[in-house]
């Protein structure tokens, strides 16, 4: 990537990023416009990435993972997002969907299901948000009632990425009383009777990424698919989201980097008044600010990842990284449309698509207002 100097922990990590760039150039860049215009999910492309090991990067080799540090995994996402952010998000969501089983499943559960989930063929989804509440996850209403060796699940989940195309769903549901202590996590296969993906939402961007509600109508989930104990679901969900927020930060950094590189190339080639427009301060300074903001966002992201890799608390740093990276992605993609002027407003140039795609990154995995609340509360506790 132009202008990006990476300090990687191993030669293996260097080779992995080279492989990712090769896949991104050959499999993603030539196809993104067609798939996005048709609104088709690139299932075979995701499967190719899976067979190359990119759907299992941060997980244990014992269960089929690549056992890569999170700082390396996030840079893989960044490279993918430069070419096609919906694909990077798909990898991030799948990695998030593997977290509950990988970190809270029993040994028997992990040996039974995790290798197939990490092997590249299966794709996961994460069902936490609901129509009446996304940010207020502790008060979710989807309920699971146990009857001997099965749970019967009823309710509706909303804004579920991979709805209708996922092979398994993490379903956070109420098995006890009100509040966070009444929530549990069930791992439901897509073949679950009573699990019904609804019509896709018509989204502003990432048209190739299916998002929809999922209705549970006496959905039958075997009791041995309970992940963790009853009442531990909220803690599992929040732990997964800490990691997932870093994935979204990486997507934001990659999207912003892709927009910057395209706009910079355009500004070098486009001439006005006998000079390339990059030579005018109004344009050149805009590009310089973007490059600086991206570098800062990448540093925040990698700092949080390195804390995670070291086993140190990283939740607040993940919130900061997600907040800052997605905010600057929105700002930079807006500015890169401006660099192109009228050309930036038409779909002939990808900055128009980058601009529409950036917005959702300020919303998913906890809105940026929620990130600010998390950070502010941590500051209050320190005083």
Tens of pLDDT, residues 22-68: 999 999 999 999 999 999 999 999 999 999 999 999 999 999 999 99
List residues bridging with 150 in a β-sheet.
147, 222
29 CB-near residues (< 8 Å, 6+ apart): 83, 84
Q: Is the pLDDT of residue 383 over 80?
A: no
The answer to whether residues 170 and 97 touch, using CB atoms and an 8 Å cutoff, is yes
pTM across the whole model: 0.96
* Average pLDDT value for residue range 89-116: 97
pLDDT tier, 2 (very low <50, low <70, confident <90, very high otherwise): low
Tens of pLDDT, residues 163-200: 999 999 999 999 999 999 999 999 999 999 999 999 99
Total length of the chain? 383
Residue position matching structure tokens 């607040």: 316
Q: Is the pLDDT of residue 157 over 90?
A: yes
State residue 4's pLDDT score.
Answer: 86
3-class DSSP assignment, residue 303: helix
pLDDT tier, 250 (very low <50, low <70, confident <90, very high otherwise): very high
**Protein fold of 238-382:** Butyryl-CoA Dehydrogenase, subunit A; domain 3 (1.20.140)
The answer to whether residues 128 and 99 touch, using CB atoms and an 8 Å cutoff, is no
What residue spans define the domains of the chain? 11-118, 124-234, 238-382
Q: Is the pLDDT of residue 133 over 90?
A: no
List residues bridging with 185 in a β-sheet.
172, 227
Name the active-site residue from 71, 89, 317, 365: 365
Query: Using N-to-C axis directions, what is the helix angle for 351-361 and 85-104, rounded to 10°?
Result: 30
Q: Is the pLDDT of residue 1 over 60?
A: no
* Average pLDDT value for residue range 111-130: 96
State residue 136's pLDDT score.
Answer: 86
> Is 232 assigned a catalytic role?
no
CA 337 to chain CA mean position, Å = 24
Correct CATH for 11-118 of 1.10.540.10, 3.20.20.140, 3.40.50.10420, 3.50.50.60: 1.10.540.10
Q: Which two tokens stand for residue 324?
A: 């800052």
- 3-state DSSP helix/strand/coil % of the chain, to nearest 5: 55, 15, 25
State residue 76's pLDDT score.
Answer: 98
Tens of pLDDT, residues 280-319: 999 999 999 999 999 999 999 999 999 999 999 999 999 9
* Average pLDDT value for residue range 92-100: 97
CA 344 to chain CA mean position, Å = 26
Rounded Cα distance, 92 and 160, in Å: 13
Correct CATH for 124-234 of 2.40.110.10, 3.40.30.10, 3.30.910.10, 3.90.1150.10: 2.40.110.10
Q: Is the pLDDT of residue 3 over 80?
A: no
Q: Is the pLDDT of residue 356 over 80?
A: yes
Task: Give the end-to-end CA distance of the chain in Å, rounded to a whole number.
Answer: 42
3-class DSSP assignment, residue 23: helix
Cβ-in-10-Å burial (0-12, 13-18, 19+) of 1 comes to middle
């Amino acid at each position: 990537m132009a202008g990006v100097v990476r300090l990687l922990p191993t030669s293996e990590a260097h080779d992995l990023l080279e492989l990712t760039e090769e896949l991104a150039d050959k499999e993603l860049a030539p196809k993104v416009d067609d798939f996005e215009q048709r609104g088709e999910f690139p299932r075979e492309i995701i499967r190719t990435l899976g067979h190359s090991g990119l759907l299992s990067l941060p997980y244990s080799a014992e269960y089929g993972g690549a056992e890569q540090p999170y700082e390396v995994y996030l840079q893989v996402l960044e490279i993918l997002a430069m070419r096609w952010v919906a694909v990077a998000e798909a990898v991030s969501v799948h990695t998030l969907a593997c977290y509950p089983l990988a970190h809270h499943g029993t040994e028997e559960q992990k040996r039974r299901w995790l290798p197939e989930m990490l092997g590249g063929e299966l794709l996961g989804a994460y069902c936490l948000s609901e129509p009446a509440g996304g940010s207020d996850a502790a008060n979710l209403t989807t309920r699971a009632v146990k009857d001997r060796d099965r749970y019967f699940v009823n309710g509706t989940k909303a804004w579920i990425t991979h709805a209708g195309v996922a092979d398994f769903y993490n379903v956070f549901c109420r098995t006890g009383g009100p509040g966070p202590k009444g929530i549990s996590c069930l791992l439901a296969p897509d073949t679950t009777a009573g699990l019904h993906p609804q019509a896709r939402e018509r989204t502003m961007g990432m048209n190739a990424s299916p998002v929809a509600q999922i209705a549970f109508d006496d959905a039958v989930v075997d009791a041995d698919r309970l992940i963790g104990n009853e009442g531990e679901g909220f803690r599992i969900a929040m732990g997964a989201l800490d990691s997932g927020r870093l994935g979204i930060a990486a997507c934001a950094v990659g999207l912003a980097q892709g927009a910057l590189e395209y706009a910079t190339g355009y500004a070098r080639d486009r001439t006005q008044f006998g000079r390339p427009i990059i030579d005018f301060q109004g344009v050149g300074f805009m590009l310089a600010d973007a490059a600086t903001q991206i570098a800062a966002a990448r540093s925040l992201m990698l700092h949080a990842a390195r804390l995670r890799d070291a086993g140190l608390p990283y939740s607040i740093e993940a919130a900061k990284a997600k907040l800052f990276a997605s905010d600057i992605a929105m700002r930079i993609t807006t500015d890169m449309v401006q660099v192109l002027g009228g050309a930036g407003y038409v779909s002939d140039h990808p900055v128009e698509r980058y601009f529409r795609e950036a917005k959702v990154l300020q919303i998913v995995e906890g809105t940026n207002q929620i990130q600010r609340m998390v950070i502010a509360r941590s500051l209050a506790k320190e005083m």
